[in-house]
A and B are shown apart, each in its own frame.
Chain A
Amino acid sequence: MSDTLRAALALAGKDLRLEFRSKTGIISAAMFAALVLIIFNFSRDPTTVSNLDLAPSVLWATFTFGAMVALNRAFHLERENAAFDGLRLAPISREAIYLGKLLANLVFVSLVEAVTLPLFILFFDVDLSGALPGILLITLLATIGFVGVGTVFSAMVVRTRFAELMLPVLLLPFMVPPLIGAAMATTRLLAGRPLSDFAGWLRFLAVYDLVFLTLSALVFWAVVDE
């Protein structure tokens, strides 16, 4: 078990080192998220729609798009020099490869979210004081959910010609439950409702994460083996 973890951490570390060396990936994803926020701002009429009503939807839509952009990078970088063969040759389990890529993706998407959230607070003038820990928890749970599935799908679509297009097509249905859960919970949180009002949604997100992380780890070999 710890062999798997060690290999996964080595893999994630390599991914992050590569990403921070070039930085283009994270900058593109962050800029993309910022642009999405700006577009949302111009596409609404502030006099008719209140910020608080719109806020959770905008935030989660932005996170979704940002995550999509970030996810494709993980397996794309293994295509140069057939580096992925190097991972498959090594005495590491398929689950270790999945876990390593998952961890790197989580860090990456979290960074994009960390850039997006302050911009969101700024552009939409939303008061998040007191709600911040809650927002972070909801974000973490929902992110794990769709990055967990997204990691498997991005490994599949990287072999096709239109990977950037195929990933959203495959992944969007799987983002609906975490998105609904996160938006519902965020709305209640921002409306100042007590924890008991949205604990159910948090549980829902947690169960989704558990089920799909386990399933993804179990089927990942089918995506890796030839």
Chain B
Amino acid sequence: MPSAEPLLAARGLGRRFGPSTVLRSVDLALVPGQVVLILGENGSGKTTLLRLLAGLLRPTHGTIQLGGKPFSSSDPAARRGLGLLSHQSLMYDELSLQENLVFAARLYGLKEPHLVAAAAMQGVGLAERGESRLGSLSRGMLQRAAIARAFIHRPPILLLDEPFTALDAGSADRVREWLSGRAREGCGILLVTHQPAEVWDLATDVGVLAGGTWAILESRPATLEGFLPRYRDAIRV
């Protein structure tokens, strides 16, 4: 890992749910421009890791630092530096897209929430759908809407949980483009995916979670095909 001051760092991060230990000890350091792919089998703790880093879950043990300072879920202001794209949209079906984004902007304390919402819709190519009821959007549009909401405050740290699921090729292209733009701007991106081919070229690093910790964590190998055998070995542990 590069040695610049990390945007986001974790040491010995672990999480139990009742008697079961999902994550044992995870270390991490995310620097600007880094795009880390997180792979692993179902139940390996990928979503748990993202939720811990986003402050939605409290770690059972271990620490998280945001910009060098300790991060805990009782520190609201620090959450401004993070954005999480979850499996679900975190929005309200009965409100319009615009109303949802304005609400999100208000939650993030952004000035001129209507302008911010408009810019966010523009950024994901949904400017004409502002008045539509959120529940009426197609899957691809909903995912783009969710991206607009998750990152409306333009945080330097982007956490994404399977952003390409059920997206058609066109929407996937747009998401890829958008991610590439963010990485160029110096954001740090952690991306959980079951479809590494979609973002292989964009990634700078690859990690594989197995047995509650990293089985592999290294710079992204040149080709996915070359990597797959090692991936299969790692998850067989």
**A positions within 8 Å CB-CB of B:** 3, 6-7, 10-11, 14, 17-18, 21-22, 77, 80-83, 85-93, 96, 221, 225-226
Alpha-carbon gap, A91 to B78, bound state (A): 7
A84 nearest CB neighbor, chain B only: B90
Alpha-carbon gap, A86 to B88, bound state (A): 10
Alpha-carbon gap, A6 to B80, bound state (A): 16
- Cβ–Cβ < 8 Å partners of B104 in chain A: 86, 90
Contact pick for A87, options B87, B93, B107, CB 8 Å: B107
Sample 6 A-B pairs with CB under 8 A, ordered by A number. Answer: A18-B92, A80-B92, A83-B92, A86-B149, A92-B76, A93-B76
Q: In the complex, are the beta carbons of A81 and B76 less than 8 A apart? A: no
- Cβ–Cβ < 8 Å partners of B56 in chain A: 85, 88-89, 226
Given A22-B94, A83-B91, 12 further pairs, Cβ under 8 A: A7-B107, A10-B103, A10-B106, A10-B107, A11-B107, A18-B92, A85-B88, A86-B91, A91-B107, A91-B109, A225-B73, A226-B57
B142 nearest CB neighbor, chain A only: A81
Known: A91-B77, A91-B80, A225-B58. A80 touches B108 (CB 8 A): no
**B positions within 8 Å CB-CB of A:** 54-58, 73-74, 76-80, 82, 84, 86-95, 99, 103-104, 106-109, 149
- Cβ–Cβ < 8 Å partners of A21 in chain B: 94-95
Alpha-carbon gap, A14 to B107, bound state (A): 11
Alpha-carbon gap, A6 to B54, bound state (A): 23
Q: In the complex, are the beta carbons of A85 and B90 less than 8 A apart? A: yes
- Cβ–Cβ < 8 Å partners of B54 in chain A: 89
Interface of B is mostly: loop
Contact pick for A17, options B58, B91, B99, CB 8 Å: B99
Q: In the complex, are the beta carbons of A6 and B57 less than 8 A apart? A: no
Distance between B84 CB and nearest chain A CB, rounded to angstroms: 6
Q: In the complex, are the beta carbons of A18 and B94 less than 8 A apart? A: yes
Q: In the complex, are the beta carbons of A90 and B107 less than 8 A apart? A: yes
Known: A10-B106, A225-B58, A226-B57. A81 touches B80 (CB 8 A): no
Distance between B149 CB and nearest chain A CB, rounded to angstroms: 7
Contact pick for B109, options A6, A18, A80, A86, CB 8 Å: A6
B57 nearest CB neighbor, chain A only: A226
- Cβ–Cβ < 8 Å partners of B108 in chain A: 90-91
B75 nearest CB neighbor, chain A only: A91
Q: In the complex, are the beta carbons of B74 and A3 less than 8 A apart? A: no
Contact pick for B84, options A3, A11, A87, A89, CB 8 Å: A89
- Cβ–Cβ < 8 Å partners of B77 in chain A: 91
Q: In the complex, are the beta carbons of A91 and B106 less than 8 A apart? A: no
- Cβ–Cβ < 8 Å partners of A77 in chain B: 92
- Cβ–Cβ < 8 Å partners of A7 in chain B: 106-107, 109
Known: A7-B109, A90-B107, A91-B78. A82 touches B94 (CB 8 A): no
- Cβ–Cβ < 8 Å partners of B88 in chain A: 81-82, 85
Q: In the complex, are the beta carbons of A3 and B92 less than 8 A apart? A: no
Alpha-carbon gap, A77 to B99, bound state (A): 16
Known: A10-B103, A226-B58. A221 touches B74 (CB 8 A): yes
